[in-house]
Structure 1
Amino acid sequence: MTDASHDVVAIGNAIVDVLAQAEDTFIADEGMNKGSMQLIFSAEDADALYAKMGPGHEISGGSAANTVAGIAALGGKCGFIGQVADDELGQIFAHDIRAVGIDYTTEARPGDPTTARCMIFVTPDGQRTMNTFLGASQYLPETALDRDLIAGGAILYLEGYLWDPEEPRRAMRTAIEVSRKAGRRVAFTLSDVFCIERHGDDFRKLLSDGLIDILFANENEILALCQTDDLDAAIDRAAKEVPLLVVTRSEKGALAVKDGERVTVAAEPVDKVVDTTGAGDLFAAGFLHGQAQGRSVKDSLRMGAICAAEVISHYGARPEVDLKKLMAEKVG
């Protein structure tokens, strides 16, 4: 196996996030499930909801893209593969991700649909309710894969959100083959309970076939994956299927299981939770960066907790402080 050219190469939705504050009553009146994510299937519905948003912040996002942006901020070398359209939002996304030092070579797709966008409503308690129009991102073809980039990544990171559309699902299966053939590790995040409800059998087969080396989940996701209401039972069951299981538990911290050994860390304290958008994405960034550096599971968990705490202290899913300096002060 040759030396890796990149620490992490991610494949995910290429999305521009639009964040705005909203009251709980607005969330209820619009029939949204607070704190979760729902898909918008038509451009017309997306435009109608966007028109109801208050003043917002626009920033390039997408779960896996946020993660590699965090890793890049920590000093890691990353690549990203994701589909945008040949439009203004697509240009914004490409500029933003390259500007933080991430290798991004996916060619823009001409014509409709437009570049994906996620409208995020942040309630006074900091919870974010996401409404995603996947647009061009759901048309990522196998031909768009940069196989040399994938083979050169020490860790291939895939997001469950992108498993929903058929075309990128085929592309990600091919990417797994390329990565494993190159002797690399494959990490997968379950992303959301709705992804498991739609594709749980697929996810469980990926695990049982030994295709995933690192699995990320939160409490609700691991329960849904293992089809139980018993958290400890779910963790034990999933840990038998994957070499390294990572479960985030919000204010209760996080845990990992490797070779039957469970390791836990407390949540990093924050003065005020402003916006939980990207908390899981940045946790994965800290953890994966630690793993790429050869650090222990304990240190990797702590790094994840530190990154998550930073991102929930402000609006948006990208770090606003010097993460390398912050990590040096807190972990060394």
Structure 2
Amino acid sequence: MVRHAEACRRHGMPFAADPSQQLARLEPDAIPGLFEGARYLFTNAYEQALLLRRTGLSGQDVLRRVGAWVVTLGADGARIERHAAPAVTVPAVPVARVADPTGAGDAFRAGFLAEHARGRDDTEAVRTGCALAATALESVGSQDYEASYGSVRERALAGAGR
């Protein structure tokens, strides 16, 4: 993962970083190599705390090194943070029944990045990420569900009260 991030930096390619399990495995001084220069850094709240503790960096130190830090908050939704800007928290999309949490984080990131690829802003991207994560939570297995773009956007907008 560090080599891929280094290659992106070297070639000026935008990238997203999701250090997750690597946070506990890498030496603390190697961890910034996973996310330095990333357009988006993705963590959950536990991983955010672990990253800060293991590196000794402050949240602002990290935010100066990335474009945005997207932190998933489970049933509380997700928060997007940028250096010198107020954090924005978007509530989770209601879930009928949690069948299996496996793959919810991956689904969130897929929905988030797909919306940014479509030119949507951070808030809309988080809403869609939350909607796709909710779909994953309601299914057993990490990829045992089908979701069309239209159904996910409809769920995202309904979750936003629109």
Q: TM-score, normalised by structure 1?
A: 0.42
Question: Are 2:117 and 1:289 aligned?
Answer: no
Structure 1 moving runs of 4+ over 6 Å: none
Q: How does 1:177-216 map to 2 (within 5 A)?
A: 177=7, 179-180=8-9, 183-192=12-21, 195-199=22-26, 200-207=28-35, 210-216=36-42
Give 1:331 deviation, angstroms. 4.7
Give 1:330 deviation, angstroms. 3.5
SS of alignment partner, residue 255 of structure 1: strand
Partner of 1:238: 62
Give 1:323 deviation, angstroms. 2.9
Deviations along 1:268-322, one digit per CA (max 9) or x if unpaired, are 1111101000011110001111111121000111111001000010111125233
Residues 131, 156 of structure 2: 8 Å contact kept: no
Deviations along 1:192-237, one digit per CA (max 9) or x if unpaired, are 3xx2122142222444xx4322100011111111118xxxx95444
Seen in structure 2, the aligned counterparts of structure 1 residues 236 and 259 have a Cα distance that, compared at 3 Å, is closer
More strand as a share of residues: 1
Question: Are 2:108 and 1:314 aligned?
Answer: no
What is the distance in 1 between the residues matched to 2:117 and 2:144?
20
Question: Are 2:73 and 1:249 aligned?
Answer: yes
**Matched letter for residue 122 of structure 2:** V
Residues 275, 316 of structure 1: 8 Å contact kept: yes
Task: Compare CA radii of gyration and give the structure with the larger one.
Answer: 1
Partner of 2:52: 226
Paired residue total? 153
More helix as a share of residues: 2
Give 1:190 deviation, angstroms. 1.6
What is the distance in 2 between the residues matched to 1:331 and 1:181?
36
Seen in structure 2, the aligned counterparts of structure 1 residues 213 and 321 have a Cα distance that, compared at 3 Å, is same
SS of alignment partner, residue 289 of structure 1: helix
Seen in structure 2, the aligned counterparts of structure 1 residues 258 and 307 have a Cα distance that, compared at 3 Å, is same
SS of alignment partner, residue 48 of structure 2: helix
SS of alignment partner, residue 246 of structure 1: strand
Instruction: Name whichever of 258-267 and 241-250 sits farther off.
Output: 258-267
Seen in structure 2, the aligned counterparts of structure 1 residues 320 and 295 have a Cα distance that, compared at 3 Å, is same
What is the distance in 1 between the residues matched to 2:11 and 2:33?
21
Partner of 2:149: 324
Q: How does 1:21-32 map to 2 (within 5 A)?
A: none
Structure number with higher relative contact order (C-alpha < 8 Å, ≥ 6 residues apart): 1
Root mean square deviation of aligned Cα? 2.4
Question: Are 2:103 and 1:275 aligned?
Answer: no
**Matched letter for residue 204 of structure 1:** P
Question: Which residues of structure 1 form unaligned runs of 5+?
Answer: 1-162, 164-168
Question: Are 2:94 and 1:265 aligned?
Answer: no
Q: Equivalent pairs: percent with the same residue?
A: 30
Question: Which residues of structure 2 form unaligned runs of 5+?
Answer: 158-162
Partner of 2:129: 304
